[in-house]
Structure 1
Amino acid sequence: MARRRSRQDANIWPGFVDGLSTLLLVVMFVLSIFVVAQFYLGEELTSKETELTRLQARIASLADQLGLAETERDQLRQRVLSLQDTIEQKDDELAGLTAALAESQSAVAASAEELDAEKALSEEQKSEIATLNAQLAALRRQLASLQEALEAAEAKDEEQQAQIENLSSRLNAALARKVQELADVRSRFFEALREALGDRDDVRVVGDRFVFESDILFGSCSATISPAGQAELRKLAVVLLDIQDEIPGEVNWVLRVDGHADAQPLGPGCRAYFEDNLQLSSERAMSVVRFLAQNSVPERRLVAAGFGSNHPLVQGGDLARNRRIEFKLTER
């Protein structure tokens, strides 16, 4: 019985080996198919990637072409607009040429010989000749008109230039004459005033001005002319009235009265009447102008100005000399 079991076990093993071999062959076959499928799939993927790269490059190229096409489209639009403007200009020119052609045809119709010659020409030649004739006539008219305008402009320019030079020369001569006349009158005025006032240390000539120290005309911190100051100003008014007839009528002269003060601040009592030295000097100048006007000097020949302490005669030392009234005979 043991021998029978051993024989049966020996019979099972070959079948098991055969089944296992068959299974191994099947597995190897499946693996082979899988490897082959992987190979072909890899090739296919590589091909697809290559195709995808080519398509991307194509898309980029098309995008560039699209950008160029849009640029070209914009240029074409601008060109179309330009051509439209050109067409409108040509339409205007055509209208003018049509009118010129009609005029030319009317003139040609008056001559039988010219009419026969016109009939012998083709319509195209007739149009070209008429256009050229009209353009030539228009250019000749424009040239003649421009030449006339140029000649007129040159003549007018020469005439105006001569007038300007003449007026400039006359004006300079007149100004020089007026300046000299006024200087002569001022010199006589100063001389006569010096004689009328006598030899005084507190009245002097400084440049083109006659200078009165304020102490002659006003009391301390006052814009009211003192009696002594009124007497001196009456002498000035008399001299001015005597000499005004010697001033040429075309000289528009004025006597400018300038008030000046020193840099010393006003005291408390003085500030009750005047805000500062500028107001004090202005009020004094106006008081002198009013007094001269009351003594027959024409008001239109008088001007008052206050400068405060802005234009001192001296720096340091006797600052009282900066408190003064100046008279300047000048042209308005």
Structure 2
Amino acid sequence: MALSPRGAGNRFSATIWPGFVDAMTALLMVLMFVLTIFMVVQSVLRDTITTQDSELDALSTQLAGLAEALALEQARASDLEGRLTGAEALVATLGADLAASRARIGEYEAQVAGLLAARAADAAAQAELQARLQGSEADLAALTLALDESRRKAEETLTLLAAAEAARRELEGAATQKSTDEERLAALLALAEQKLSQERLVSAEGARKLALLNEQIAALRAQLGALQAVLDESAARDKAAKVQIEALGAQLNTALAQVAAEQRKRADLEEAERKRLELETKDLARYRSEFFGRMSELLAGREGVQVVGDRFVFSSEVLFAPASADLAPEGRAQIARVAALLTELAGQIPPEIDWVIRVDGHTDSTPLSGTGLYADNWELSQARALSVVRYMTGSLGFPPARLAATGFGEYRPVTPENTPEARAQNRRIELKLTER
């Protein structure tokens, strides 16, 4: 009975263990499956991230390219704006270039003249340097000959010294053998020593002269080198001057051609303008003739109004009261007739003719009191002319751009006489058809 519980436990253990192993196996399989899924997902995510990074890099590259293209387009636009500004500035300066080209022509001519003068001076200096060079070469040749002569004399002196030394040695040897000739040999020895001393002095003088000749030759060679450098520099300047003269000549020809073209163009424009002005003058003269012809017919027999040349004259007594600038009724009527005729004539004048009716006010030389509305005759004449103009524009509807009011005071008299009749003639209003 005691063995029964232990057997039951063994049976329970034997029953649990396979299940546990199966559970662990299933758990391991699940873990392996989860790890496998995780690895697959991680691989897929890595590939996706790598692909997205590649796409992002490509997009960044495209964005950089687009930014660079945008910068290039902006730079191109800025360059085009700068070129446009430069072109406008160039167009603005073309007119100034013509005047500058004329000034440059004078400068080129002065420079050419200066270069020619400098070239002539360089040629003279070059000739002088060549003459000095030839003289220096002759001096060098003479010094070379003198040096050769000095060397020859030095060699002869050295030969004599060697012979004297040999003779002295022979005399010394002979003195040991022949005692009877000692006095003669001593005399000969003294003579030889004297000659030797003289030859040494001559040799020293020759050496000094030789050194001096060498110094002179070196100085002459340096001078020749300097002269040659000056000649080379002069030749280079001459060549540069020739090139500059050719360049200035080409620029001068170009400038002359431009000036000639501009002068021809200006002459053509002036001729066209002259012809146009002649035509306009003829047309205006024709209209003026027609105008004054009809005005003469219109004003014939009217007191205080007359046609004088290319203008018609109103007496101030007809238009204004004394010392007044207000138009009288009779003056308004006469101005209205003239304005109607002018309006009819204005419709016939071509628009290209810039015409104007000038209203001139004149007074006599009698000074005003200065206490009235006008300080002097000048103000009175101006006020009367302006009164006529304002009446024509305000009441009669005449174009203001075709009218001009001027006052001359007493400074444009018809007659200088100081009589009542003359003063009456000088007090007037004149209307003249003219160009602006």
The alignment's TM-score, normalised by the length of structure 1, stands at: 0.55
Does the Cα contact within 8 Å between 2:382 and 2:409 map onto a contact in 1?
A: yes
Query: CA–CA distance in 1 between the matches of 2:408 and 2:235?
Result: 80
The one-character-per-residue Cα deviations of 1:129-168 (angstroms, maximum 9, x if unpaired) are 9989977875565354334313312321321232233233
Does the Cα contact within 8 Å between 2:362 and 2:409 map onto a contact in 1?
A: yes
Say if 1:134 and 1:267 are closer, same or farther in 2 by CA, change over 3 A.
closer
Residue 223 (structure 1) aligned with residue 325 (structure 2): yes
Say if 1:265 and 1:141 are closer, same or farther in 2 by CA, change over 3 A.
closer
Structure 1 unaligned segments of length 5 or more: list them: 1-126
- Name the counterpart of 1:250: 352
Of 251, 257, 262, which aligns to 1:149?
Answer: 251
Does the Cα contact within 8 Å between 1:197 and 1:235 map onto a contact in 2?
A: no
- Name the counterpart of 2:39: none
For residue 211 of structure 1, report the CA deviation from its aligned partner.
0.2
Say if 1:137 and 1:327 are closer, same or farther in 2 by CA, change over 3 A.
same
Query: CA–CA distance in 1 between the matches of 2:347 and 2:275?
Result: 23
For residue 230 of structure 1, report the CA deviation from its aligned partner.
1.0
Say if 1:157 and 1:276 are closer, same or farther in 2 by CA, change over 3 A.
closer
Query: CA–CA distance in 2 between the matches of 1:128 and 1:257?
Result: 81
For residue 291 of structure 1, report the CA deviation from its aligned partner.
0.5
For residue 277 of structure 1, report the CA deviation from its aligned partner.
2.1
- Name the counterpart of 1:183: 285
- Listed as ranges, the matches of 1:138-287 within 5 Å are 138=240, 141-266=243-368, 271-287=371-387
The one-character-per-residue Cα deviations of 1:107-144 (angstroms, maximum 9, x if unpaired) are xxxxxxxxxxxxxxxxxxxx999989977875565354
Of 399, 406, 409, which aligns to 1:305?
Answer: 406
Residue 329 (structure 1) aligned with residue 433 (structure 2): yes
Does the Cα contact within 8 Å between 2:299 and 2:306 map onto a contact in 1?
A: no
The one-character-per-residue Cα deviations of 1:47-96 (angstroms, maximum 9, x if unpaired) are xxxxxxxxxxxxxxxxxxxxxxxxxxxxxxxxxxxxxxxxxxxxxxxxxx
Query: CA–CA distance in 2 between the matches of 1:321 and 1:133?
Result: 86
The one-letter code of the counterpart of 1:306 is G
The one-character-per-residue Cα deviations of 1:229-284 (angstroms, maximum 9, x if unpaired) are 1111111111111111222322222111111111223368xx42222222222111
The one-letter code of the counterpart of 1:298 is P
For residue 174 of structure 1, report the CA deviation from its aligned partner.
2.5
Does the Cα contact within 8 Å between 1:210 and 1:326 map onto a contact in 2?
A: yes
Query: CA–CA distance in 1 between the matches of 2:432 and 2:275?
Result: 24
Percent identity between matched residues is 39
Does the Cα contact within 8 Å between 2:356 and 2:433 map onto a contact in 1?
A: yes
User: What's the secondary structure of 2:347's corresponding residue?
Assistant: helix
Query: CA–CA distance in 2 between the matches of 1:283 and 1:272?
Result: 13
User: What's the secondary structure of 1:176's corresponding residue?
Assistant: helix
Superposed CA RMSD in Å reads 3.0
Query: CA–CA distance in 1 between the matches of 2:327 and 2:234?
Result: 94
Of 281, 296, 313, which aligns to 2:397?
Answer: 296
Does the Cα contact within 8 Å between 1:193 and 1:235 map onto a contact in 2?
A: no
The one-letter code of the counterpart of 2:430 is E
Query: CA–CA distance in 2 between the matches of 1:311 and 1:131?
Result: 76
Query: CA–CA distance in 2 between the matches of 1:132 and 1:321?
Result: 85
Query: CA–CA distance in 1 between the matches of 2:264 and 2:240?
Result: 36
- Name the counterpart of 1:43: none
For residue 293 of structure 1, report the CA deviation from its aligned partner.
0.7
Query: CA–CA distance in 1 between the matches of 2:426 and 2:248?
Result: 70
The one-letter code of the counterpart of 2:352 is E
Query: CA–CA distance in 1 between the matches of 2:249 and 2:236?
Result: 20
User: What's the secondary structure of 2:295's corresponding residue?
Assistant: helix
Aligned residue pairs total 208
For residue 310 of structure 1, report the CA deviation from its aligned partner.
1.5
For residue 198 of structure 1, report the CA deviation from its aligned partner.
3.9
The one-letter code of the counterpart of 2:282 is Q
User: What's the secondary structure of 1:307's corresponding residue?
Assistant: strand
Does the Cα contact within 8 Å between 2:314 and 2:428 map onto a contact in 1?
A: yes
Does the Cα contact within 8 Å between 2:362 and 2:427 map onto a contact in 1?
A: yes
Does the Cα contact within 8 Å between 2:378 and 2:410 map onto a contact in 1?
A: yes
The one-letter code of the counterpart of 2:426 is N
Structure 1 segments, 4+ long, off by >6 Å, are 127-137
The one-letter code of the counterpart of 1:291 is Y
Query: CA–CA distance in 2 between the matches of 1:143 and 1:272?
Result: 77
Query: CA–CA distance in 1 between the matches of 2:402 and 2:288?
Result: 14
Say if 1:260 and 1:130 are closer, same or farther in 2 by CA, change over 3 A.
closer
Say if 1:210 and 1:137 are closer, same or farther in 2 by CA, change over 3 A.
same
The one-letter code of the counterpart of 2:403 is L
The one-letter code of the counterpart of 2:390 is R
User: What's the secondary structure of 1:255's corresponding residue?
Assistant: strand
The one-character-per-residue Cα deviations of 1:183-221 (angstroms, maximum 9, x if unpaired) are 212111212223333432421112222100012211222
Larger helix fraction of residues: 2
User: What's the secondary structure of 2:325's corresponding residue?
Assistant: coil
- Name the counterpart of 1:314: 415
Query: CA–CA distance in 2 between the matches of 1:215 and 1:166?
Result: 52
